[in-house]
Amino acid sequence: MEEARFEWDPGKEAENIRKHGVSFQQAQLAFLDPRRLITRDLKHSGRELRHFCLGKVGGGILTVRFTYREDAIRIIGAGYWRKGREFYEEKNSLHG
């Protein structure tokens, strides 16, 4: 499997750390979860399609908002949100 390339805005990352306690370096780990879920972010897709990656990181389920830019995954935001955890648990319990 080809290795993914990640990018982000450092200012957005600093704001995300302040608001949600999650660095974008840490957010990359959600994509390594073999049971991760990728779904469209219909609420925030405007000029570009946005997505969520929900994956287990440490003891919780991390929700990462991202978009694809050329050959990179651009992280927009990340946090341990209840709604993401519930969706992850529901979908993964249906599949085994």
Instruction: Specify which residues 58 forms β-bridges with.
Output: none
pLDDT in tens, 7-24: 999 999 999 999 999 999
pLDDT in tens, 33-53: 999 999 998 676 678 889 999
What pLDDT score was predicted for residue 44?
65
- From first CA to last CA, the distance across the chain in angstroms is 24
What pLDDT score was predicted for residue 74?
96
Residue 69: domain span: 6-94
Give yes or no for a contact between 6 and 72, defined as CB atoms under 8 angstroms apart: yes
Report yes or no on 14 lying in a domain: yes
Report yes or no on 74 lying in a domain: yes
CATH of the domain at 45: 3.10.450.530
Report yes or no on 1 lying in a domain: no
Report yes or no on 11 lying in a domain: yes
Binned at pLDDT 50, 70 and 90, residue 62 comes out as: very high
> Considering its fold, how many domains does the chain have in total?
1
Report yes or no on 62 lying in a domain: yes
From residue 32, give the alpha-carbon distance in Å to each of 19, 29, 45: 24, 5, 24
Q: Range with the lowest mean pLDDT among 17-26, 35-44, 60-69, 84-93?
A: 35-44
Report yes or no on 13 lying in a domain: yes
